[in-house]
């Protein structure tokens, strides 16, 4: 399973965000699970993983040398912010937790990016600034 592409969507008043159908089509729910794990990402975005991929992330995080302050900081931030999202609703939407929305400065317009084994969720303003080098 490899995700790719850039998709522009909106968050509704109930903090629901539709995951693009091109992304959802690539997820084998039997292998990957029905839900997602969402965490703070890098550069002010959110990382969204399938349940199975999250198990791989956890295994990699177990290998981190906690004496390395940078790695320890990343491990703490990732696990402290982690929220399980049981599954999409019938319209392919997930609810973005308020603290995640605040962290990523998400407003109405967002950009969803497929990056190999994860999905990133960016505020439109942050994404435009990031890709322009600003």
Query: pLDDT tens digits for 19-37?
Result: 999 999 999 888 998 899 9
DSSP character at residue 11:
B
Q: Which domains does the chain have, with CATH numbers?
A: 3-131 (3.40.1550.20)
The model's pTM: 0.92
Q: The sheet that has 83-85: what strands, in order across it?
A: 3-10, 109-116, 118-123, 46-50, 36-40, 83-85
Residue 110 has, within 13 A of its CA and on its CB side, a CA count of 27
Mind listing the pLDDT tens digit for each residue in 98-125? Answer: 999 999 999 999 999 999 999 999 999 9
């Amino acid at each position: 399973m490899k995700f790719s592409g850039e998709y522009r969507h909106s968050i509704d008043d109930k903090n629901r965000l539709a995951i693009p159908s091109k992304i959802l089509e690539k997820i084998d729910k039997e292998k990957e699970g029905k839900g997602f794990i969402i965490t703070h990402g890098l550069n002010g975005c959110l990382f969204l993983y399938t349940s199975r991929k999250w198990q791989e992330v956890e295994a990699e995080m177990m290998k981190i040398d906690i004496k390395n302050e940078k790695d320890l900081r990343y491990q703490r931030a990732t696990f402290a912010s982690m929220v399980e999202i049981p599954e999409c609703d019938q319209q392919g939407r997930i609810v973005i937790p308020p603290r995640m929305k605040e962290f990523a400065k998400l407003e109405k317009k967002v950009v969803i990016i497929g990056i190999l084994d994860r999905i990133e969720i960016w505020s439109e303003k942050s994404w435009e600034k990031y890709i322009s080098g600003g």
